[in-house]
Amino acid sequence: MLRGVVFDMDGVLIDSHPLHRVAWKHFLLTLGRHVSDGDLDFILDGRRRDEILCYFLGNLTHAQISEYGAKKDEMLRQFGEGIQPFHGVVEFLDCLRRSGIRIAMATSASRQRAFGTLEELGVAPYFEVIVTGDEVTSSKPDPAIYRLAAARLNESPENLLAVEDSVSGVKSARSAGMWCAGVAPADRADKLRAAGADPVISDFRLLSLEEMKARFRLSQAPKESLARGLSRTSHV
């Protein structure tokens, strides 16, 4: 039975990846580090801020990570003023709450940025549990963050759906024992499916709660029943 949905934040609740690219590029330039657009793909795969900093700048002290992270977040706030939630996500959150399905978030973002973003968007009251990258020692694709979210919800992972936009995020959720839906444009959808996401949507307006529940029931059925059921269920 589907009892809860655990959302990632960047690329799922908010379409923030373009802004992250701009903010990271400008921040690194202030330190004399020139990076290409291809180099910046690293930031899109569920990485924690400290991992990104060390990837581009080498070994750093905790004080440097804190200082640089604050500067980068300030740039993101400047570039991301007035950031909006993904199309249809607020309506989907409303639908989940009306249906009695519990709502949580598991994000690699820092606690300060995660809570600040939810407050800015006006969606913080929807979330019963929020787990951030500050609270786990290993980032996605390690399952730790999703296991912690399930523990705080006091729910079995098999009764939870994760919603992710990155390959590492999908692998993290699946390794934790959750079913996972993906959010991605057409050019990245196949990568998420290969990692274990089903369905993969480009827009929350395309996601039906009733079909999601049906898919969830089928995902817990024996394989032969699953095959028969999916042949009758339209793809999202």
pLDDT digits (tens, 9 = 90+) for 6-26: 999 988 998 877 777 788 888
* Chain mean position to CA 177: 16
Percentage of the chain modeled with pLDDT above 90: 46
37 has catalytic annotation? no
User: CB of 183 within 8 A of CB of 164?
Assistant: yes
User: CB of 204 within 8 A of CB of 92?
Assistant: yes
pTM of the predicted protein model: 0.79
> Which pLDDT belongs to residue 1?
85
> Which pLDDT belongs to residue 143?
97
- Whether cis (ω within 30° of 0) applies to the bond prior to 18 is no
> Which pLDDT belongs to residue 235?
41
Asked if residue 44 has pLDDT above 80, the reply is no
Cross-strand pairs, 129: 104
Q: Please enumerate in sequence order all residues whose Cβ is within 8 A of that of 81, keeping only pairs 6 or more positions apart, or say none.
A: none
Asked if residue 120 has pLDDT above 60, the reply is yes
DSSP assignment of 132-189: -GGG-SS-TTSTHHHHHHHHHHT--GGGEEEEESSHHHHHHHHHTT-EEEEE--HHHH
User: CB of 166 within 8 A of CB of 180?
Assistant: no
Question: Could you tell me the pLDDT band of residue 226, with boundaries at 50, 70 and 90?
Answer: very low
Give the other-Cβ count within 10 Å of 59's Cβ.
6
Question: What is the mean pLDDT of the segment spanning 136-145?
Answer: 93
pLDDT: is 39 or 224 the higher one?
39
Asked if residue 229 has pLDDT above 90, the reply is no
Give the other-Cβ count within 10 Å of 54's Cβ.
14
Asked if residue 43 has pLDDT above 90, the reply is no
Mean pLDDT of the chain: 86
Walk across the sheet containing 4-7 and list its strands.
Answer: 129-131, 102-106, 4-7, 160-164, 179-183, 200-201
> Which pLDDT belongs to residue 234?
39
Asked if residue 231 has pLDDT above 50, the reply is no
Query: Closest Cα partner for 39 from 51, 15, 21, 26?
Result: 21
Domains (ranges, CATH) in the chain? 4-15+84-232 (3.40.50.1000), 17-79 (1.10.150.240)
pLDDT digits (tens, 9 = 90+) for 62-110: 899 889 888 887 887 777 665 788 889 999 999 999 999 999 999 998 8
Active-site pick, 8, 10, 73, 165: 8
In b/e form, how buried is each residue of 94-118, taking b as 16+ CB within 10 angstroms? ebbeeeebbbbbbbbbbeebbbebb
User: CB of 20 within 8 A of CB of 10?
Assistant: yes
Asked if residue 171 has pLDDT above 60, the reply is yes
Question: Could you tell me the pLDDT band of residue 227, with boundaries at 50, 70 and 90?
Answer: very low
